[in-house]
Amino acid sequence: MFKNLMLKTKITMVFIVINILIFALIIGILSSIVYINTYKGYENLIFEKTKNFVENVQMIISIQAKDYLEKISEKEFKSILAMYEEYEKGKLKKNEYIEKVRNLLKGKSIGKNGFYFVLDRSNFPEKVIALVHPSFEGEDLLGDWTIRRISEKMSGFVEYTWKNKGETEEKRMVAFLRYFDKMDWIIAASAYVEDYSTFLNLKEIRNLMERQLENIQGNSFVIDYEGNVILHTTLMGKNISELPYIKKILKMKNGNIKYVEYEEKGKGKEKLANFVDVPGLKWIFVTTIYTDVIKEGFKGFYRNLIIISLINLLLIWILGRIVVGYLIKNLGKVKNKIYNIVSGTEKADLTKRLEVETKDEIGEIANLVNLLFEKLNRDMLKVKVSSELLMNSSEESTEIMEKDIKKNTQVIEKSVREIQSQVDNAASGIEELTATVEEMARNIDSIANSMTRQASAVEESASSIEEMVRNIENTAVLSTKTKDISINLNNVSLEGSKAVKDSIASVKEVSEYSQQILKLLGLISNIAKQTNLLAMNAAIEAAHAGEAGKGFAIVADEIRRLAEDTNKNARDIGEVVSSIVSKIDESVKLAEKAGVGLDMITAYSKQNVDIISQLNIALQEQSNGAKEILKATQELVKITEEVKVAMTEQKHATDDFSKALVELRDISIQIVDNINTHRESLTSLVNAIEKIKVSVELTRKQTEELKSIVGNFILKEEISTPTALRLVE
């Protein structure tokens, strides 16, 4: 339907649709930008409010914790001072005073898990002893960085991380320190940050939370990591961890989410929640706002934007109507003039031109149409001249094909048949020669292989002979060394035989001296026996003498014991000497046997020297003969290698000749194929000439039709015939 409309209607409709789409796109983009900026503005506002709240809460917590710890530690400090007065008056010993302080503080707890501790810094900076502590009592804690910092600070409020024995991770803690200068102690009341909720004043935090919500239509509340409500207008003390959006908040701890809050079943409103983790307290501060509040500020802008857009659209539509009307009017003039040129007579008059009244796009179209008529006029003139020339050329081509080309093709066909016959004869001779050369090449290959095997066998024989010569020479060297060793062995055996004989004589002398020692030991044993008898008699006489003989009896008893010991030692020495004598006799017998063996070794060594001398002579003769054989074998290897090289060169020459013959045979076959192809091409050429003849006749008829078509135009004759001829050429 659209294609049947007038151009004016089409342009108007397209113009209106494009403007509507453009304004719709602009409205959408502006709406999105404004909405996003408004949304981001509220989101940033909530984030800043939440961030400021967390910072203020941390400050309030620090102040309240400091005041709380200072307040509860003051009472215990006064009690410790009172105990110190008793210690000064002598009512308590130092150990008793320290024990009472321990009993006082160890039973006290601060919050859920907080505790008191006392540090003795009397030996600081060498060491700091924990007098009171739940995990490290009595230990030196100076190596811990936190304890060193507390020892240097001595008093005031400190924040730190700590891990007692049995705990798996460090936790944040705060402590209020009091310095007890009389004992050089630091008395501290400490609490875990996660236990703040047990002693914090939540009213002050609630007031702060309400101030944070000023200027925004939202709601705030505080929950812990378990989902228990710490601060809320209506849900204080309840657990809301099962709510879907609370589950997301507990999982993320920091960030923002969108969720739907249902006042009734099926009726819900979308809300934006921003939440921040409060470090240490295990709290999460949440601020929420309905997204309708954000959209409400956007509605006025959206309404004004639509009104302005509609007014602009109406103005553009009116302006478009005026412009389109002007364009259609000029286009109508151009259309009427073209119609008058084309349909004025029976023939199309290409001598007429459009009148150009404007310089806009329509004027340019009129100029282009005039240029088109000008070009069409020139082209039609060229076609007219070319058709006349083509008519003449067709008649000449028909005459040439009938007389000259047909006669020449017959002569070429006869020459091709004669060449093919000669090439077939040459190809047969080349085939026979190629077979003969291939047989000769196979014989040369067989001879070359035999020479190669012969050369390998000769080289292996030469290698074996060289190895044999080396073995003979090595054997001769070993034989010479063996001869030298045998001579040395003979000399050593002679010296050993002489040494054995000298040893036998020396051992026999030792045996004779041992016999004399045995005789002397027998004499000593008899003397000891007699001395023993004399000592016994002297003891008896001393007993008869009574008190006067007691001293002599003691001496006699000592002499008797000495005689017994001497007799015992003489027997022991006699046994040892007897054993030595028996061993000496055995040594003499063994030495005599060794002497006999050395004499035999000497005889055998002399025989071995004689045999090795004869072997050396035989090896020398064998070495000379092997060298002569090796020389002859090397000459044979050289001659065989020369024959092998000659056969290889002959084989290469035969292979080259065979390849040349094969190439010549292939060329002959290719020539035959080319001649056959040439004959086929010649036949095709004759057929093509017949087809060309038909085509020329058809061209002549079509040229006559083209000439009649050109006659339908009134042309402006302004192109010369020579120019037309050059164009055709």
Cβ atoms of 170 and 163 within 8 Å: the answer is: yes
| Predicted local confidence at residue 99, as pLDDT | 92
Radius of gyration in angstroms for the set of CA atoms belonging to the chain, rounded to a whole number: 68
Arithmetic mean of pLDDT, 184-200: 81
What token pair was written down for 571?
A: 């027997």
Residues 81-94 have pLDDT tens digits of: 999 999 999 888 99
- From CA 221, how far away is CA 239, in angstroms rounded? 13
Confidence of residue 97 (pLDDT cuts 50, 70, 90): very high
Q: What is the DSSP string of 102-150?
A: HHHHHT--BTTTBEEEEEE-TTTTT--EEEE-TTTTT-B-TTSHHHHHH
Residues 662-672 have pLDDT tens digits of: 776 677 677 66
Distances (CA, A) of 265 to 34, 248, 257, 290, 381: 33, 22, 22, 18, 90
Q: Highest mean pLDDT range out of 342-346, 374-378, 408-412?
A: 374-378
CA angle at 487 for the pair 481 and 490, rounded to the nearest 5°: 140
**Coil vs helix vs strand at 460:** helix
CA angle at 59 for the pair 55 and 65, rounded to the nearest 5°: 140
Cβ atoms of 602 and 497 within 8 Å: the answer is: yes
- From CA 636, how far away is CA 642, in angstroms rounded? 10
| Predicted local confidence at residue 113, as pLDDT | 83
| Predicted local confidence at residue 117, as pLDDT | 94
Residues 17-32 have pLDDT tens digits of: 777 777 677 767 766 6
| Predicted local confidence at residue 427, as pLDDT | 65
Domains of the chain: 381-708 (1.10.287.950)
Residues 536-566 have pLDDT tens digits of: 887 787 777 777 777 777 877 778 787 787 7
Arithmetic mean of pLDDT, 411-429: 67
| Predicted local confidence at residue 444, as pLDDT | 67
Q: Is the pLDDT reported for residue 300 higher than 90?
A: no
Q: Report which residue type is found at 617.
A: I
| Predicted local confidence at residue 543, as pLDDT | 77
Cβ atoms of 177 and 154 within 8 Å: the answer is: yes
